[in-house]
């Protein structure tokens, strides 16, 4: 089928409705159909569920995506593209009054014959990947939530339980299958389209629609970890233990700590939680030395430390999710410093105090360290887009995660947490600990994390974009995500 490029953008859904019986049979869905409703209501956050697309397109293969791209470029239509639908801000992966391409029918978790590589369809979630691999005694460095999409997490970088040993999830990828704006289906790896391969590692949705990703597989059955909860008086000890872990002269690449401080109106008190993980497969009865300082802090409100499979740990994390809630992510980054963490928490307390009247409010600060060993491994894995040098490490990625119930509180909560991000940057700068890097998958829509990669990385991403998308369709006609302009 041939198409003539329109001079002005027209309705993508009208184009696809006309085509559907011929080349996209049973793949275009209009409002009030059960498939349309399920798709819209499957987004993780309320903000994306409240976006009303004109239609949903559900391709079954990369060939279907090729047809969609060819038609879209020819007709100059606008599109949104979604995988797992976990990015929270409105318009990230959905398009008001436009066509949203839902990739969740592009399935497959397929092991190579020698069990060294797994090929994963862009519509899969990490829970599906683990359900396939764990019974075989195999594992991949992937996401830490069951329902997070494989493609989105990887294209934004991706943090895993194995981050200390492998770098970002994107650093482990051996091949991307991607449909370009031209409709061409190509592979990007260390031998083919190498510049595109590097750009996709952190470059998000700026180059095409990724339909399959290959990851290395390794033997792994169980690990040690869980959560320990504390009340506010324990914060100074926790911040010291966290900073000592992050700045250890020789870091433990098998260990990981996620330290959160949160307030939930449903319980009315502030709690800190140290989530600790040790991926080395040994019989762990007591915490490994690198994590022992966290277990030594007393008193503890509860502890779930144990040996378990990764599926058990991601299910534990998932239990705290609230699908469909009004919730967002904001990101900041700084170098580890216990006194700075305490200052950030104090500023957080000041800023959230007036917000406590918001119905169903819970607000969390989540601190994670990107150790020097992690950044060294990332650099050794080949070119990527993050713009991080090993000399930058260690750094702390701060996720700010508010959850609330009423739309009436949206503006004041977003304004307050935007203020908090600016305050964190100011405090970090004053302490000489500021980092411009922002973890893309934790960033709010106004934060421009790609700017944080640095001028050289951004210039390279733009050059790759112009090479593989010469009409700049993904910059002008796919408004969701973080653009390069």
pLDDT value of residue 4: 37
pLDDT on residue 161: 97
Which residue shows structure tokens 């009340």?
Answer: 231
Q: What is the pLDDT of residues 399-454, one digit of tens each?
A: 999 999 999 999 999 999 999 999 999 999 999 999 999 999 999 999 999 999 99
Q: CA separation (Å) from 399 to 107, 333, 387, 411?
A: 30, 9, 20, 19
In the prediction, which pLDDT does 157 show? 98
At residue 329's C-alpha, the angle toward residues 350 and 93, to 5°, is 150
Indicate the domain borders of the chain.
12-105, 109-219, 223-308+322-453
Give the pLDDT band (50/70/90) at residue 2.
very low
CA distance 180 to 166: 28
Task: Give the tens place of pLDDT for each residue, 45-103.
Answer: 999 999 999 999 999 999 999 999 999 999 999 999 999 999 999 999 999 999 999 99
DSSP, collapsed to helix, strand or coil, labels residue 363 as: strand
Q: What average pLDDT score do residues 125-141 get?
A: 97
- According to DSSP H, which parts of 121-264 are helical? 126-133, 150-155, 163-166, 169-172, 194-200, 235-246
Burial class for 449, CB neighbours closer than 10 Å (0-12, 13-18, 19+): buried
Give the per-residue pLDDT at 274.
98
Q: What is the pLDDT of residues 388-398, one digit of tens each?
A: 999 999 999 99
Confidence grade of residue 281 (pLDDT, cut at 50, 70, 90): confident
Domains 12-105 and 109-219 equal at CATH topology level: no
Instruction: Give the pLDDT confidence score for residue 182 in this predicted structure.
Output: 98
Q: Report the alpha-carbon distance of residue 162 to residue 165 in Å, rounded.
A: 6
**SS3 of 367, please?**
strand
DSSP assigned state of 14: H
Q: What is the mean pLDDT of residues 343-357?
A: 98
Do 305 and 226 contact (CB within 8 A), yes or no? yes
**pLDDT over 60 at 218, yes or no:** yes
What is the CATH topology of the domain spanning 223-308+322-453? Vanillyl-alcohol Oxidase; Chain A, domain 3 (3.40.462)
Q: How many other CB atoms sit within 10 Å of the CB of residue 26?
A: 10
pLDDT at 15: 84
320-335 pLDDT tens trace: 999 999 999 999 999 9
- Determine the pLDDT at residue 284: 64
The predicted model gives 122-139 an average pLDDT of 97
The pair of structure tokens assigned to 281 is 């497969």
Amino acid 5: pLDDT: 38
* pTM of the shown model: 0.96
- Taking the CA of residue 64 as centre, how many other CA atoms within 13 Å lie in the half-sphere pointing to its CB? 21
Does 124 score more than 90 pLDDT? yes
Residue 359 DSSP code: T
Do 82 and 100 contact (CB within 8 A), yes or no? yes
343 pLDDT band, cuts 50/70/90, is very high
109-219: CATH topology is: 3.30.465
Can you give the length of the chain in residues? Answer: 485
CB under 8 Å to 379, separation ≥6 — which residues?
Answer: 167, 388, 389, 390
Distance, CA of 131 to CA of 226 (rounded, Å): 20
pLDDT at 1 over 60: no
Q: Rounded to whole angstroms, how far apart are CA atoms 390 and 394?
A: 8
pLDDT of residue 7: 36
CB 118 within 8 A of CB 217: yes
186-196 pLDDT, tens digit each: 999 999 999 99
pLDDT tier for residue 286 given thresholds of 50, 70 and 90: confident
Write the CATH number of the domain with boundaries 12-105.
3.30.43.10
Instruction: Flag whether pLDDT at 464 surpasses 60.
Output: yes
Q: Tell me, what's the pLDDT at 23?
A: 85
Q: Which residues contact 284 (CB under 8 A, 6 or more apart)?
A: 224, 278, 307
């Amino acid at each position: 089928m041939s198409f003539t490029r329109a001079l002005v953008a027209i309705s993508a859904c009208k184009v696809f409705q006309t085509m559907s019986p011929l080349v996209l049979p049973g793949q275009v869905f209009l409002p009030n159909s059960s498939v349309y409703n399920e798709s819209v209501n499957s987004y993780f956050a309320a903000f994306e569920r409240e976006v009303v697309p004109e239609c949903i397109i559900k391709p079954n293969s990369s060939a279907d995506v090729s047809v969609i791209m060819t038609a879209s470029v020819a007709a100059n239509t606008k599109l949104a593209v979604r995988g797992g639908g976990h990015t929270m801000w409105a318009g990230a992966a959905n398009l008001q009054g436009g066509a949203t391409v839902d990739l969740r029918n592009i399935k497959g978790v397929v092991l190579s014959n020698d069990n060294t590589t797994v090929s994963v369809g862009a519509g899969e979630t990490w829970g599906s990947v683990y359900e396939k691999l764990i019974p075989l005694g195999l594992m991949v460095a992937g996401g830490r939530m069951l329902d997070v999409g494989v493609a989105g997490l990887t294209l934004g970088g991706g943090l895993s339980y194995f981050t200390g040993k492998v770098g970002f999830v994107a650093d482990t990828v051996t091949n991307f299958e991607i449909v370009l704006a031209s409709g061409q289906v190509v592979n990007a790896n260390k031998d083919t389209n190498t510049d595109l391969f590097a750009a996709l590692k952190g470059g998000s949705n700026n180059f095409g629609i990724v339909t399959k990703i290959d990851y290395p597989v390794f033997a792994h059955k169980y690990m040690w970890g869980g959560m320990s909860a504390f009340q506010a008086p324990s914060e100074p000890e926790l911040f010291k233990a966290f900073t000592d872990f992050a700045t250890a002269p020789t870091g433990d690449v098998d260990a990981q700590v996620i330290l959160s401080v949160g307030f939930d109106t449903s319980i009315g008190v502030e709690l800190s939680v140290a989530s600790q993980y040790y991926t080395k497969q040994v019989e762990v009865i007591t915490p490994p030395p690198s994590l022992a300082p966290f277990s030594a802090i007393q008193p503890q409100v509860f502890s779930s430390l144990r040996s378990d499979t990764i599926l058990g740990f991601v299910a534990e994390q998932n239990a705290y999710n609230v699908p469909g809630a009004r919730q967002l992510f904001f990101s900041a980054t700084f170098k580890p410093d216990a006194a700075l963490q305490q200052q950030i928490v104090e500023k957080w307390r000041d800023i959230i105090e007036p917000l406590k009247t918001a119905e169903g409010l819970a607000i969390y600060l989540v601190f994670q360290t990107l150790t020097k060993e992690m950044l060294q491994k990332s650099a050794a894995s080949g070119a990527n887009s993050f713009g991080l040098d090993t000399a930058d490490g260690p750094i702390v990625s701060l996720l700010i995660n508010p959850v609330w119930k009423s739309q009436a509180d949206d503006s004041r909560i977003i304004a307050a947490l935007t203020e908090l991000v600016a305050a964190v940057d100011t405090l970090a700068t004053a302490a000489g600990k500021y980092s411009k890097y922002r973890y893309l998958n934790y960033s709010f829509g106004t934060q421009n994390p790609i700017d944080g990669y640095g001028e050289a990385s951004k210039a390279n991403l733009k050059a790759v974009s112009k090479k593989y998308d010469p009409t700049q369709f993904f910059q002008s006609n796919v408004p969701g995500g973080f653009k390069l302009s």
